[in-house]
Amino acid sequence: MSKLYLVPTPIGNLEDITLRAIRILKEVDLILAEDTRTSKPLLNHFEIKTPLQSHHLFNEHQRVESIVQEIKSGATIALITDAGTPAISDPGFLLVRECIKNDVEVETLAGATAFVPALVNSGLPCDRFCFEGFLPHKKGRQTKLENLVKEERTMVFYESPHRLIKTLSSFQDYFGKDRKASVSRELSKLFEENKRGTLEELIAHFSAKSIKGEIVIVVQGLTKS
């Protein structure tokens, strides 16, 4: 039966892919990948020979309609991103929404996503949390932070290594230097790092070293005095 599969891929360690994900990627007619250059080594490692096409932030608006029509014509298609679960700070939402509008079946496999291990590993409350993804770089950044000042849930953010210090400094300005937080870097990879402390301590730690890898920041929510 034709459908769209959303298939999570490892965020680092290749062993984190599921057996079901490997089977689905071998069985579908086509794999849509955020970056085919990034996905080819993964597919080659698991001997997945399914045809591959690019589907990324810069072409998804133009392609969603034709992809939906292809599925409605009988094709079974899988969507993957460079790492993690599609549509979580990656392309996927537009295609899923269009499939639902057109009564095309969508099935999402369970699997890797970066913010879950970072949150659980932070030592901060994870019974209630909000996922904010990447903060706006310029327009809307101040407003977003102002709206989060009174947030009582644990907050989770994605960030790039070259913007980590700037973002931690912004958090310190809005949340205070003593707010507890955790920074997870290179999750599931050889040089994984999980650093916990106050925002002031984290700024000092990462200012003194070279920063590489994808970043997840977990920040304690406002606590009632």
Please list the pLDDT of the chain residue by residue as tens digits (225 residues). 799 999 999 999 999 999 999 999 999 999 999 999 999 999 999 999 999 999 987 888 889 999 999 999 999 999 999 999 999 999 999 999 999 999 999 999 999 999 999 999 999 999 999 999 999 988 899 999 999 999 999 999 999 999 999 999 999 999 999 999 999 999 999 999 999 999 999 999 999 999 999 999 999 999 976
* Cβ-count burial 47-85 (b if 16+ within 10 Å, e if not): ebeeebeebbeeebeebbeebbebbeeeebbbbbbbbbb
Which residue, chain included where needed, has tokens 């794999």? 31
SS3 2: coil
Residue 13 confidence (pLDDT): 95
Which contiguous run of DSSP H or E holds residue 95?
Answer: helix 93-101
Domain 4-108 indexed as CATH 3.40.50.11030: no
SS3 212: coil
Residue 225 confidence (pLDDT): 64
CATH of 115-219, one of 3.60.150.10, 3.40.1280.10, 3.30.950.10, 3.40.50.2300: 3.30.950.10
Return the bridge partners of 30, or none: 77
Return the bridge partners of 31, or none: 52, 78
> How much is the pTM?
0.92
Return the structure tokens found at 224.
């009632």
Residue 224 confidence (pLDDT): 79
Handedness of CA 202, 191, 125, 141 (dihedral sign): positive
Residue 138 confidence (pLDDT): 84
Task: Establish whether domains 4-108 and 115-219 are of one fold.
Answer: no
In degrees and rounded to multiples of 5, residue 133 shows phi and psi of: 60, -140
Residue ranges of domains in the chain: 4-108, 115-219
